[in-house]
Amino acid sequence: MNAPLRLGIAGLGTVGIGVVKIIRQHGALLEARTGRKIEISAVSARSRDKDRGVPLNGYAWEDDPVALATRDDVDIYVELMGGTDGPAKASVEAAIAAGKDVVTANKAMLAIHGQALAEAAEAKGISLRYEAAVAGGIPVIKSLTEGLAGNEITRVVGVMNGSCNYILTRMESAGLTYEEVFAEADGLGYLEADPQLDVGGIDAAHKLAILSSIAFGTRVDFDGIELEGIERISIDDIRHAADMGFKIKLLGVAQKTGRGLEQRMMPCLVPDTSPFGQLQGGTNMVAIEGHAVEQVVLRGPGAGEGPTASAVMGDVCDIARGFTLPVFGQPAGTLETVPRAASVLPAPYYLRMALVDKPGALAKIATVLGEAGVSIDRMRQYGHSDTTAPVLIVTHTCTRAAVNEAINAMQGTGVLASDPVVLRIESV
């Protein structure tokens, strides 16, 4: 009979306790599916005394996660603390050096240090798995590395931060401002301790960097992502988009072209009839496009105790079955370093601006756009104040470079009352 597979769990927050519950409540099912009994040997967290709702007195306790990662009675080190560096990185490195398999939910660490950790793990012949790091309960890592391995991936598109999607959909459904919904989401505990990780797009960009590496066989390059958060999205933008049949989403897009790897995480307009347009609340969605499969759309809960713990246990079960594969789907040494490519593929754009309310202001803006090669598809002027007139423009398909040229030229017209908001209209 196979010996039990013993876990050491570092981090007993929402996800860590979710893992403990699955093992305690469904141990017989896990053993039937993997052929091995899965048990917890030891745990580590900041506080021993906190009531976490499940008994932990049957497990050894280590105050130092590095000590936990190197215990003789730990076969798999499960890192659920988070953080780019510090104890998380040190303990994962220690586990790898000790020949332990590792399961983590730490997207920030992988987005920054993934290449080095992958090389170390593969040199040791151990597994480093991280399904829980991207899109919660959605098996997107497994889909890319296994189910779609026969495809040349052409594009990855995703809504991968539930907090941002909650804010944007709540603004629309309740007619509330960004500031009001931000405060609401913060009060409900939906935002990270540093909310900028969520609303600034950083958390979602970490996930996109990981998916890009797997999809296109490249080294993880978080710094190469064009990044813009949702802070400038107003309730007016939400309403204007809806008027024209669009929704606003924080959308990640990655594709490899002849010029290099294009990665962007920024607010975009998507058709309200598309799968992304219909995505509500904290749900995540990832669309993967391949030469043979065309498009696969994965949808599900992007965070939370159950969904994320489910992803952790999926990795644990694969290790229990003896299943191994390279960290990013192919040997780390074969991952390419490719040039960073800014977005050049043409698309329509949404422009919102406030103009000084004087004769000829709108004509000057139209002239500037025309001179930059940007043609206008639709233009609307909304009710104005005593001094400014809000204007909404949707362009025909053009390049972002042409839009940027026009925006720069507008600064010299003397008719802008505020900086324009520019959003790409994405085909999904």
The pLDDT of 39-50, averaged and rounded, is 93
Question: How far from chain centre, in Å, is Cα 386?
Answer: 42
Mean pLDDT of the chain: 94
Q: Which residues carry out catalysis?
A: 207
Question: Using 50, 70 and 90 to split pLDDT, how confident is the model at 342?
Answer: confident
The pLDDT of 137-159, averaged and rounded, is 96
Question: Using 50, 70 and 90 to split pLDDT, how confident is the model at 268?
Answer: very high
Question: Using 50, 70 and 90 to split pLDDT, how confident is the model at 388?
Answer: confident
Q: What is the pTM of this model?
A: 0.93
Count of Cβ atoms closer than 10 Å to residue 150 Cβ: 10
> Is pLDDT of 128 > 80?
yes
pLDDT of residue 383: 67
The pLDDT of 328-354, averaged and rounded, is 90
Quick: pLDDT tens for 184-199: 998 888 888 899 999 9
pLDDT of residue 274: 94
pLDDT of residue 108: 97
Question: Using 50, 70 and 90 to split pLDDT, how confident is the model at 390?
Answer: confident
Please tell me the distance from the alpha carbon of residue 248 to that of residue 270, in angstroms, as a whole number: 6
> Is pLDDT of 345 > 90?
no
pLDDT of residue 189: 83
Helix axes 27-34, 14-25, angle to 10 degrees: 80
Residue type, 349: Y
> Is pLDDT of 1 > 60?
no
Given a contact cutoff of 8 angstroms between Cβ atoms, the answer to whether 169 and 285 are in contact is no
pLDDT of residue 384: 65
pLDDT of residue 251: 97
Kindly list the distances between the CA atom of residue 220 and the CA atoms of 71, 144, 312, in Å, as whole numbers in the listed order: 30, 15, 21
User: Which pair of structure tokens corresponds to residue 39?
Assistant: 């048990």
Quick: pLDDT tens for 222-255: 999 999 999 999 999 999 999 888 999 999 999 9
> Is pLDDT of 333 > 70?
yes
Between 45-54, 130-139, 168-177, 323-332, the lowest mean confidence (pLDDT) is in 45-54
pLDDT > 90 fraction of the chain, expressed in percent and rounded = 82
